[in-house]
């Protein structure tokens, strides 16, 4: 199993597997990049409605092709059907949102479930219709690489590249619409059309990815990589590129995994890999990661306790709060019995001195910055110049000694 | 003389009572906007004077922001016309810059200050043109005008409210327009920002541009603006501040909601 996985990973498990893996990577890049704008526009869930709305199209396309005497499993035919019904689903969501009092989330729920329910009924009918003959349409639900034909892989590869090109071409207007739609409208961008284009991109990714990832989980490829990328960057282009990279990686690994063990459906594997990348990022990302936030908070808490502790020392109070004691003790500002050391007395005197400097500064400079930075923690040296502080010190006279 | 001008002139009963539409940076004619079946703005006419600084003033819910958005086509117009320098505004949007309300966007969006200002150059850059050093320098110059040049590489979420407002103004400056429409630029900003913004707006006026602000602070109208448009769903009055921003007109605009004591504090000219 491990061997098979490594072979698939290194393009040595045969031509078809390699093609599928490349196709999945391209699809992942397109989904991650395109999904970024959906996520930034705060419309990520619309993609779920679009994805589920493909199912009745698949069923109907199959029936029509069989009725016309053709092969019901012809992939381009099935994808065309799925695209048409996805478009219908999208129009339904937009129409409901615009013309009724229902909000978008309600519209998404309604459209998603009705289309999916109808699709499942059609699949059941097809199963009874084609007794003994495996239609194989179930693989569209969760995706599979088993039994994938060469031309299927080519469709995915070409579609994926086109979608990537589209994302690159339209990244600027899509960014503008996502950040500030009203301003975008006044800079010559047709916002409604750009929203439609974004959805069209999502629809394309969904339809292309149907065979590989399946319609139930394609939403994960559109949402998880952008959300992960957002943890690592504060710039739109970087979010888009990182999301594309993560999506590509997850798609590639997932396809290789799934190809090495034919019973594993591709979609769930890709989702699990994406989720692993997300979980690691959520924990470790600098800035937005959970660990970083925790450490930041701890450091801040220590600063607060240090400052309050020093002011308490200056007032000659006994410090009882355990954290404050620990903080002051660690810096050797107090002895084990809580009495200030030489260093502690000096630091306390400085803290008191700064308090009186602040008080005077607030009288002398009726300035925004002086007021807004008077938060107890900001060192006065970062707000006032050395000359200004010297002037304040002259007015204050010699510092009072701390007991 | 165009049809519109003739119509206007005949309405006034005297030949050249109003400037030609082509001279007005913004001419609003019988503009109505409704949300559902409740008009938010009803049949408002206004003629913004060239190189003026006009405040749109009225109580909460009077349709001030809606009027601005309808002018720009962000909110659909139920009826009425909007002419900018005599042409339908849709044809001359490149001469118009808009500063939306600060609260209308998500400031946690992954973007830097300089990127927001560069959005003002979108019209020039289009889909394909790369951002070059010259563009970046123009954006920096606009940031400098609002005193935010040192913040160019900051993430926008780290800015204070006043700084955010200044970045929005810088983005509009980058558009290099002739008509500036601002929605509550002074709402919830610190005094330093208020001064910085009003200095920039006055400088714009000095450069022969026209500025229109939705404004809610009655105390500063006389200091900041040359003209005023009083609305409360319908237009109450418009004209120079000195003759239009009167206690009587304010009472008509705000009704009982504005206490007489408050009006007295404004030390308005008596009509």
Tens of pLDDT, residues A310-355:
999 888 888 888 899 999 999 889 988 888 888 988 899 889 888 8
B111 vs A182, A236, A368: nearest CB: A236
Q: How far is B90 from A105, CA to CA, in rounded Å?
A: 33
Domain end among A266, A282, A308: A266
Give the number of other CB atoms < 10 A from CB of residue A133.
11
Is there a domain that residue A285 lies in? no
Give chain A positions within 8 Å (CB) of B72. Answer: 182, 185-186
Using alpha carbons, select from A74, A77, A80 the residue that is nearest to residue A135. A74
Mean predicted lDDT score pLDDT of chain A: 87
pLDDT at A402 over 60: no
Give chain B positions within 8 Å (CB) of A235. Answer: 110-112, 115
pLDDT at B11 over 60: no
The answer for residues whose C-beta is within 8 angstroms of residue A219's C-beta and 6 or more apart is A44, A45, A47, A48, A51
The pLDDT score that the predictor gives to residue A98 is 85
**Measured between CB atoms, does A239 come within 8 Å of chain B?**
yes
Q: How far is A397 from A360, CA to CA, in rounded Å?
A: 12
- A8 and A135 within one domain: yes
What pLDDT, in 10s, does the model give residues B228-267? 999 999 999 999 999 999 888 988 898 876 666 677 777 6
A382: helix, strand or coil? helix
DSSP secondary structure, A111-175, as one string = HHHHHHHHHHHHHHHHHHHTTTS---TTHHHH---TT--HHHHHHHHHHHHHHHHHHHHHHHHHH
A136-156 average pLDDT score: 77
- A134 and A92 within one domain: yes
Compute and round to an integer the Cα radius of gyration of chain B. Answer: 19
**CB within 8 Å: A238 and B110:** yes
Domain boundaries defined on chain B: 3-236
**Measured between CB atoms, does B185 come within 8 Å of chain A?**
no
| β-strands B53-57, B79-84 pairing | unpaired
pLDDT at B14 over 60: no
Is there a domain that residue A282 lies in? no
Q: Is the separation of the CB atoms in A54 and A251 below 8 Å?
A: no
What pLDDT, in 10s, does the model give residues B205-232? 999 999 999 998 898 999 999 999 999 9
The pLDDT score that the predictor gives to residue B269 is 60
Q: Is the separation of the CB atoms in A212 and A194 below 8 Å?
A: no
Is there a domain that residue A162 lies in? yes
Interface test with B, best of A43, A99, A100, A179 (most B CBs within 10 A): A179
pLDDT above 90 covers what percent of chain B? 64
What pLDDT, in 10s, does the model give residues A256-292? 888 777 677 888 899 999 999 999 999 999 989 999 9
Q: Domain B3-236 adopts which CATH fold?
A: Rossmann fold (3.40.50)
**In this structure, what token pair is assigned to residue A379?**
């060192």
- A310 and A262 within one domain: no
- A236 and A338 within one domain: no
**In this structure, what token pair is assigned to residue A20?**
């599928």
Is there a domain that residue A372 lies in? yes
- A154 and A91 within one domain: yes
Unique residue bearing structure tokens 């990973």: A9
Residue B69 Cα distances to A185, B72, B73, angstroms? 10, 5, 6
A179 vs B111, B125, B127: nearest CB: B111
Q: Is the separation of the CB atoms in B32 and B93 below 8 Å?
A: no
pLDDT above 90 covers what percent of chain A? 40
Question: Predicted confidence band at A12 (pLDDT cuts at 50, 70, 90)?
Answer: low
Rounded to two decimals, the ipTM of the complex is 0.86
DSSP secondary structure, A357-369, as one string = HHHHHHHH---HH
CATH number at residue A113: 1.10.3470.10
Give chain B positions within 8 Å (CB) of A40. Answer: 109-110
- A224 and A342 within one domain: no
Continuous segment of H or E residues that includes residue B29: strand B26-35
Q: Is the separation of the CB atoms in B167 and B143 below 8 Å?
A: yes
Sheet holding B38-48, edge to edge: B38-48, B26-35, B79-84, B87-88
Interface test with B, best of A169, A180, A237, A365 (most B CBs within 10 A): A180
* Total tally of structural domains belonging to chain A: 2
* B71: closest chain A residue by CA: A186
Q: Is the separation of the CB atoms in A51 and A189 below 8 Å?
A: no
What pLDDT, in 10s, does the model give residues A351-380? 988 888 888 888 887 766 677 777 878 888
Q: Which residues of A372-386 are buried (b: 16+ CB within 10 A; e: fewer)?
A: ebeeeeeebeebbee
What pLDDT, in 10s, does the model give residues B127-157? 878 888 999 999 999 999 999 999 999 999 9
Structural domain for A295, as ranges: 291-396
What pLDDT, in 10s, does the model give residues B188-197? 888 888 999 9
- A210 and A318 within one domain: no
What is the DSSP code (8-state) at residue B155? Answer: B
- A228 and A133 within one domain: yes
Mean predicted lDDT score pLDDT of chain B: 87
Q: Is the separation of the CB atoms in B32 and B42 below 8 Å?
A: yes
Q: How far is A333 from A313, CA to CA, in rounded Å?
A: 10
Q: Is the separation of the CB atoms in A206 and A112 below 8 Å?
A: no
């Amino acid at each position: 199993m491990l061997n098979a996985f490594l072979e698939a990973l290194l393009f040595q498990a045969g031509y078809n597997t390699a093609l599928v893996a490349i196709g999945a990577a391209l699809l992942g890049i397109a989904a991650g990049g395109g999904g970024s704008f959906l996520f930034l526009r705060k419309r990520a869930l619309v993609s779920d409605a679009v994805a589920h709305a493909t199912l009745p199209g698949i069923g109907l396309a199959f029936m029509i092709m069989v009725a016309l005497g053709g092969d019901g499993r012809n992939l381009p035919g099935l994808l065309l059907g799925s695209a048409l019904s996805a478009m219908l689903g999208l129009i339904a969501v937009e129409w409901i949102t615009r013309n009724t009092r229902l909000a978008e989330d309600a519209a998404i729920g309604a459209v998603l479930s009705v289309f999916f329910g109808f699709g499942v009924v059609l699949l059941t009918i097809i199963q009874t219709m084609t007794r003994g003959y495996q239609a194989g349409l179930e693989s569209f639900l969760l995706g599979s690489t088993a039994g994938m034909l060469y031309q299927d892989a080519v469709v995915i590869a070409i579609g994926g590249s086109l979608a990537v090109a589209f994302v690159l071409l339209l990244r600027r207007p899509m960014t503008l619409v996502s950040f500030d739609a009203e301003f975008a409208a006044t800079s010559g961008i047709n916002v409604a059309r750009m929203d439609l284009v974004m959805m069209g991109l999502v629809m394309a990714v969904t339809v292309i990815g149907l065979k590989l990832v399946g319609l139930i989980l394609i939403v994960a490829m559109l949402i998880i990589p952008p959300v992960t990328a957002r943890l690592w960057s504060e710039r739109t282009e970087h979010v888009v590129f990182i999301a594309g990279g993560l999506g590509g990686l997850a798609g590639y690994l997932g396809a290789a995994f799934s190809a090495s063990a034919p019973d594993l459906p591709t979609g769930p594997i890709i989702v699990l890999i994406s989720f692993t990348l997300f979980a690691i990022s959520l924990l470790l990302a600098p800035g937005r990661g959970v660990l970083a936030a925790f450490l930041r908070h701890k450091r801040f808490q220590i600063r607060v306790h240090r400052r309050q502790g020093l002011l308490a020392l200056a007032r000659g109070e006994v410090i009882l709060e355990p954290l404050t004691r620990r903080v002051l003790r660690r810096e050797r500002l107090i002895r084990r019995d809580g009495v200030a050391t030489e260093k502690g007395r000096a630091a306390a005197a400085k803290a008191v001195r700064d308090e009186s400097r602040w008080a005077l500064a607030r009288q002398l400079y009726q300035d925004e910055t002086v007021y807004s930075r008077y938060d107890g923690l900001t060192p006065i040296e970062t707000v006032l110049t050395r000359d200004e502080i010297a002037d304040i010190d002259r007015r204050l006279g010699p510092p009072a000694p701390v007991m | 003389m165009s049809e519109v001008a003739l119509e206007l002139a005949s309405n006034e009963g005297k030949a050249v009572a109003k400037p030609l539409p082509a001279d007005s940076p913004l001419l609003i004619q019988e503009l109505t906007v409704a949300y559902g079946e409740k008009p938010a703005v009803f049949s408002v006419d206004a003629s913004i004077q060239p190189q003026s600084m006009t405040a749109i003033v009225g109580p909460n819910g009077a349709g001030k922001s809606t009027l601005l958005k309808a002018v720009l086509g962000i909110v659909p117009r139920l009826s009425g016309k909007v002419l900018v320098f005599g042409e339908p505004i849709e044809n001359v949007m490149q001469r118009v810059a808009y500063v939306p309300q600060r609260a209308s966007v998500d400031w946690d969006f992954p973007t830097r200050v300089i990127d927001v200002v560069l959005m003002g150059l979108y019209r020039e850059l289009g889909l394909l043109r790369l951002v070059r050093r010259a563009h970046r320098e123009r954006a920096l110059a606009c940031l400098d005008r609002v005193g935010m040049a040192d913040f160019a590489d900051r993430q926008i979420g780290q800015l204070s409210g006043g700084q955010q407002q200044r970045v929005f103004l810088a983005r509009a400056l980058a558009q290099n327009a002739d008509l500036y429409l601002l929605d509550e630029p002074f709402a919830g900003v610190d005094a330093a920002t208020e001064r910085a913004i009003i200095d920039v707006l006055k400088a714009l006026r000095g450069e022969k541009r026209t500025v229109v602000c939705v404004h809610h602070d009655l105390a500063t109208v006389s200091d900041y603006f040359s003209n005023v448009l009083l609305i409360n769903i319908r237009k109450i009055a418009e004209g120079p501040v000195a003759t239009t921003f009167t206690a009587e007109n304010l009472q008509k605009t705000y009704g009982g909601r504005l206490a007489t004591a408050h009006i007295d504090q404004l030390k308005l000219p008596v009509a």
